[in-house]
Amino acid sequence: MPDDITILAVHDLQLLSDSAPISAEIARGAVVGLAGLDGHGQAEFIESLSGMRAPVSGGVSLSHSEGTFPIRNYNDAAHAGLAYLPSDRKKNGIFPMLGVDDNFLLGNVEGFFTQGFPKGGWLKTAAVDASLESFRKDLSISFATPKTPIRNLSGGNQQKVLLARIMAANPQVLLLNDPTRGVDIGTRHALYAYFRRAVDELGMTIVLLSTELDELVELCDRVFVFRDHAVFEELEQNELTLNRLMQSMFGQSAPAAKQDGKPL
């Protein structure tokens, strides 16, 4: 469950010059969903959180025990403890000609080198092999050998390798962009279980953009619904149903609660 400590803060972030600014605080251990009709800004928002897209104005910062870090670009995000899993793994994720081990290593090159990287040092191959094997067991990744080209794996196993890649860096916050897109139902539920463990056992925070509305209902503590490149409505866990999400995505707010005939 989320605690009272803000880890990710969004400050008056504008996705377009004419869109409303977005401000939000996300607590440590929370799972926050992003929903909306295609093209309404949720994809641009998660890319702004990851440092991959510069907003028109405003910004993002990450806070934890080592301090508060502004996120101005992807390198800032990675060094601060943000990890991003893109939606299009073939275009933005995997290196298809490389093996599983190299695809895994590329997410945390610095962590697997001896002191002196990037100008010197040696790759700790035994540490790479041991870490990959640990994730293979934990995520049930299926591949013949670590040198198997990742293009030979199923879509679900490719996605698990990418998840293992970013998890190897021990991030504070996981930014997941449609993480179960194009995977089979078994892989989907295995990923759900892994995300829950990341939150419950490792204390991570997750921001989840998903086109699967039932995924948001099942996993999230709250959901930001986007319209016109701004947050139209914020739905808490006790409000999350498929119908309520659909209504909000099409611009229908919840009716005001009433008590004694008067709005609360």
Q: pTM value?
A: 0.88
3-class DSSP state for residue 154? Answer: coil
pLDDT at 210: 96
Burial 74-90 (b: 16+ CB within 10 A, else e): eebbbebbbbbbbbebe
What phi, psi does 32 have (nearest 5°)?
A: -110, 125
| pLDDT interval class at 263 (50, 70, 90) | very low
User: Between β-strands 173-177 and 205-209, what pairing exists: parallel, antiparallel or unpaired?
Assistant: parallel
**Beta-carbon neighbour count of residue 257 at 10 Å?**
7
- Residue-wise pLDDT for 164-217, tens only, equals 999 988 899 999 999 998 888 988 998 999 999 999 999 999 999 999 999 999
Structure tokens belonging to residue 22: 């977005």
3-class DSSP state for residue 246? Answer: helix
- Residue-wise pLDDT for 66-105, tens only, equals 889 999 999 999 889 999 998 877 777 788 899 998 898 8
**Beta-carbon neighbour count of residue 226 at 10 Å?**
27
For each of the domains in the chain, give its residue range(s) and CATH number, in order of start.
1-81+171-254 (3.40.50.300), 92-169 (no CATH)
Q: How far apart are CA 169 and CA 30, in angstroms?
A: 20
- Residue-wise pLDDT for 104-139, tens only, equals 887 665 656 555 545 555 555 777 888 899 999 999
Q: Is the pLDDT of residue 231 over 90?
A: yes
Q: How far apart are CA 59 and CA 23, in angstroms?
A: 9
More confident residue, 249 or 113: 249
- Through-space distance between the first and last CA atoms of the chain, rounded to whole angstroms: 28
Q: How far apart are CA 191 and CA 218, in angstroms?
A: 13
